[in-house]
Every structure is written in C-alpha cells, then in structure tokens.
Amino acid sequence: MKIRALVRLIAAMGILLPSLLSTSSAEANLFSLSVHRRTCSQATAYVSYDGFSGGTAPFYIAFTVDLNNNGVFGEVGEPTLFAEVTGNGSPLVIGRRLTFPNQREGAFIAVTAYEVDGEGFFVSGPLEPVRYSCTNRPALNATASNTGIVPRIAVVARVFVNRVEVYSQPSAASTLIGGLGLGQQVDVIGRNARNDWVQIRFSGGTGWIMWQTQARLSGAFSQLPIVG
C-alpha cells in the first residue's frame, strides 16, 4: 500500500504514523480557535483555516482536549478528532464536537487544535488553548483562546495484537514486568535512540514496549525525549 493511502486510512481512525511525525516550518494556517456549546462532558470547538497548507496532501485538522490540567493534550481518555481539509486555497471554518468522560462540576477543561499533513508532519499549531470551568448545564456563549500557553501534544500507544510484553528496560533481555492486551491504550513518555522501543506509563510506574509491529502510536512522536 502506498504510504499516502496508508496515512489516509490511519488518520481517518484518529491515528498517525509516528515514525514520520515531526514538525514543519510552514506558516500557520489555523487561527481563531473558539469553543461554543460546552459542558462537563462535551465541547464544540471551531477553527478558522486559511485554505493553504504546506506539505503533502491530504491534510487533517485535529481537535483535542486536556482534562487533567497538566498542559498535555490527547492523553489516554482525552479524545482527539480529525477533520480532513483539501489545502486548495478555500478558507473554511471547521468544527468538531468532542465528547469525553464526565468531569466534576467546576472542573477546568482545555481545548486546542493543530494541523498535520498526509505524511504525519505538523503543518500548523497547536493553537493557544481555550480553557473553561465546566457546568453540567450547557454554556452557549463563544469563548476564544485565553490561556497564553503553548500546549504539548501527547503520544498514545494502541495495541493491535493479542498481547504486548512490557519490560523494565528497552530490551527483551531485561525484566518482564507485565503485558498489554488487544485494544488497550497507554500514554507514551519517552523513546530509545533507535525509535523501536517506547517508554510507557504502566501499573503506577513505567515500562518499555517494542511497539513497531505491535502497537500504533498517535501524537507528537518526534518530540518525545530519548531516555533509553
């Protein structure tokens, strides 16, 4: 399968190819992030898109949230939704409704958006987030970017085989400390220099998995620290 077709398929499922994910020097194409109808379990976000995208088509705008106020967006339990755009010069306002586990009344929720191209490279963003204190009764007025921070985009591993062994170090010769089952998702916090092992949050601590033939990763893989 050609890489572009593969990326289109994977991105349609909300997954990016991490071996290709990096940053781009292209000018910003997204602006004016705002959040409209919002509660403790949903938020409808919109961005303005100028229609011009550098890189390799197709292009995707991702909307994602931070529910635990750690400045990292799209961790396990924090959904990311993708919208495909053409990059043909037609400006658009694009929106998505994000649904997430119900948060306690008064909890702070933040939303951001970014753009990637068909080979997984960042094209624009992530944008300055919108942050709001939630109520179960829907708030309907539009709230624009208001945090002054540059968000970080999480990396999440999703297992696509029956079992992935988790080791104490990036080596099958290290101690086996557990396993992950089909469909399980975990946060990725580091990688080794060869990019074939990733460090994950596991059982209250950390562990390592050899991911390339066993899991798909989404998020800013190239920005992970090299820790092993």
Q: Which residue has the higher pLDDT, 131 or 89?
A: 131
Indicate if the pLDDT at residue 8 is higher than 70. no
Range with lowest mean pLDDT among 90-94, 118-122, 211-215: 118-122
Query: Cα–chain-centroid distance for residue 91?
Result: 24
Assign 27 a pLDDT band (cuts: 50, 70, 90).
Answer: low
Q: How confident is the model at residue 222 (pLDDT cuts 50, 70, 90)?
A: confident
Mean pLDDT for all residues in the chain: 88
Question: Mean pLDDT throughout 180-190?
Answer: 97
Which pLDDT score is estimated for 15?
Answer: 44
Q: Do residues 99 and 42 touch, judged by C-beta distance below 8 A?
A: yes
pLDDT at 16 over 50: no
Residue range 124-129: average pLDDT? 92
Place 7 in a pLDDT band, splitting at 50, 70 and 90: very low
Task: Quickly state the pLDDT bin for 119 (edges 50, 70, 90).
Answer: confident
Place of tokens 């029956």: 162
C-alpha span between 97 and 81 (Å, rounded): 8
Task: State the average pLDDT over residues 159-166.
Answer: 97
pLDDT for the residue 26: 44
- Amino acid symbol at 198: V
Instruction: Tell me the per-residue pLDDT of 35-92, one tens digit each, with 9 for 90 and over.
Output: 999 999 999 999 999 999 888 889 999 999 999 999 999 999 999 999 999 888 889 9
Does domain 155-223 fall into CATH 2.30.30.40? yes
191 within 8 A of 155, measured Cβ to Cβ: no
Does residue 1 surpass a pLDDT of 60?
no
Please give the pLDDT value at position 33.
97
Q: Selecting from 1.20.1250.20, 3.40.640.10, 2.60.40.10, 3.30.70.120, what CATH number does the domain 3-152 have?
A: 2.60.40.10
List the domain boundaries for the chain: 3-152, 155-223
- Residues 6 or more apart in contact with residue 74 via CB below 8 angstroms: 62, 64, 65, 80, 153, 154, 156, 218, 219
Q: What residues have CB less than 8 Å from 110, skipping those under 6 apart?
A: 65, 66, 69, 73, 129, 130, 131, 132, 147, 151
The 3-state secondary structure of the chain reads CCHHHHHHHHHHCCCCCCCCCECCCCCCCEEEEEEEEECCCEEEEEEEECCECCCCCCEEEEEEEECCCCCEECCCCCCEEEEEECCECCCEEEEEEEECCCCCCCCEEEEEEEEECCCCEEEECCCCCEEEECCCCCECCCEECCCCCCCEECEEEEECCCEEEEECCCCCCCCEEEEEECCCEEEEEEECCCCCEEEEEECCEEEEEECCCCEEEEECHHHCCECC
Provide the percentage of residues in the chain whose pLDDT is more than 70.
88
Distance CA 35, CA 142 (A): 6
pLDDT band at 24 (very low <50, low <70, confident <90, very high): very low
Confidence of residue 22 (pLDDT cuts 50, 70, 90): very low
* Window from 56-60, 152-156, 175-179, 203-207 with minimum mean pLDDT: 56-60
